Chain A
Amino acid sequence: MHIDTFAYSNRWRRVHPGEKAIFALCCLTAALLSRTVLIPLIIAALMAAMTIMGAGIPWRGYLRIAILPAAFLIWSCLALAVSFSGGELPLAHFPALQLDISFSRQGINQAELALARSLGATLSLLFLALTTPMTEIMGLLRSIGTPKLFIELMTITYRQIFIFLDMAGQIRAAQEARLGYASAGKAIRSMAGMAGNILLRTLTRARHNHQALLARGYGDELLFLSPRRNWSTPNLLAAGSAGIILIALALAIHS
């Protein structure tokens, strides 16, 4: 939920979401297209710098959010580097099991590249996620012609997440106040109770929501307009050209 808070309160909140999206997507493309470690790492550094120094996201918060995908990446790249069929750098040997574990040069190279690329791509997306509120991203998706059903589902789901969390929090507090989580057994029983209760409440809520939509003339389509945003030509030029240069560099530099 920190992501959401940052998205609404960063310095670049007022920048047109399209400009941020173009930049992030160009960087993402460049990171994925590059054949060397250098470009994706530059992109990762650039994105981190822009998110922290440009948009003003506190570095601690940034690190906390970025650490999760990064840890995941490192683990999976380790798996990529490890070989079971005689690599150049032996790690362990189990004669009884006829098992050789080693690093192979090729594997390491592959892992390095995969790590760099994914890091660049992840941080590009994180830049967009941390600087642009969900509603604006949805508005953007809508304006490029994403099917309406998707947008409607996203809009309603996103809103309901917070209502749901609120509801769950209240029930949990009420249970905790009556020692519902005092032991492991009780905790499981309380959780089960909460799940059942939430299901029932969700069904009632869905009925109420539907009634409220009908009361305002809901047909079979969720119609709404997003607030107007003005494009800024300098921003657009900067985002576009920086993105294209990075893509060009990614394509040009190899080995």
Chain B
Amino acid sequence: MTTAVIELQGVTFTYPGDIRALDNFTASFVRGRRTAVLGRNGSGKTTLFSLLNGLQRPQSGQILFDGRTIGYDRQSLLKLRQAVGMVFQDPDSQLFSACIYEDISFGPLNLGLPENEVRTRVERALTQMKLSGLENRPTHSLSFGQKKRACIAGVLAMQPQVLVLDEPFAGLDPVMAAEFSAILDELQRGGTTLIIATHDLDLAYAWADQVIVLQEGRLLADGAATEALVRPDVHAELGASPIVAEIAAVIALTGLDVYANGYLPRSRAELVKSIAAKTKGESTR
């Protein structure tokens, strides 16, 4: 059974100057799942994210966490921000200290935890993000990938149930991206709900269980990645379809059934494997 961890019901958010970022937006994020949020620049992704963690307050509509409407008083916000961790796109806007140990200790201290508990959590987050041994290096000497991991460590130390990441793979080289993906897998196995914003259709297709597509502040599509991302209206809005889906469809026209047994290749590797298995089957027949 699926339960929503965060639900938005008819949410409208307008910036000063009558700029409507979200318009009567309704969607829900399922607990324990990976959700990718897609949309063109200015479609409202950033606004949506800042609502999830209480950084902005909608003018109308409501947001539910765990079935309860979120409050905006100090205590409720602190609880919400503990439960919904937010990782920003640019690590330099998140890391405030030149020492990542200090930076990671910031969140748990804000939760009012005792020093020993905070230190344990910092150590754990450092190990989890493979940053051990780097805590004595200055932040400005770390690589982009290391800084990105430090940002996540700072959020993980608060032990959130939901992790919201804005463009987590942007700027990472393929090797770092693969490592990073493995880290996210591990977090999900641990029960964390993952929500990412991305422009990378292929990544969303391969990575996400659920996708939410925004169009000018409204919900365009909400559903399984394999279904929503191949819809014609989504293609028209985003300007492309996942390449794996397109290739698989073209190959299917030739009669080679890459979709056999309900198996849907989602990544390039899976597609190659599927084609290889099929062609081998054909030639031995």
Contacts and interface: CB of A to CB of B under 8 A. Distances in A.
- The binding surface of chain B is classed by DSSP as helix
Contacts of B106: 213, 216, 218, 222-224
Contacts of A219: 74, 110
A interface, size bucket? 20 to 34
Contacts of A159: 95-98, 139-140
Contacts of B86: 212, 215-216
B193 to A, nearest CB: 16
Contacts, number: 109
Interface in B38-85: 50, 53, 55, 74, 77-78, 81-82, 85
A209 B96 contact: yes
Contacts of A215: 53, 55, 81, 85-86, 88
A12 interface: no
A135 B99 contact: yes
B109 A211 contact: no
B13 to A, nearest CB: 15
Given A135-B97, A226-B101, A217 B55 contact: no
B93 A155 contact: no
A162 interface: yes
Given A8-B141, A225-B119, A212 B93 contact: yes
A216 B81 contact: yes
26 contacts: A8-B137, A8-B138, A133-B138, A135-B102, A155-B98, A159-B96, A162-B98, A162-B140, A209-B93, A209-B96, A211-B50, A211-B55, A212-B88, A214-B55, A215-B81, A215-B86, A216-B86, A216-B154, A217-B81, A217-B82, A217-B107, A222-B106, A224-B109, A225-B101, A225-B118, A225-B119
Interface of B: 50, 53, 55, 74, 77-78, 81-82, 85-86, 88, 90, 92-99, 101-103, 105-107, 109-111, 115, 118-119, 122, 135-141, 154-155, 158
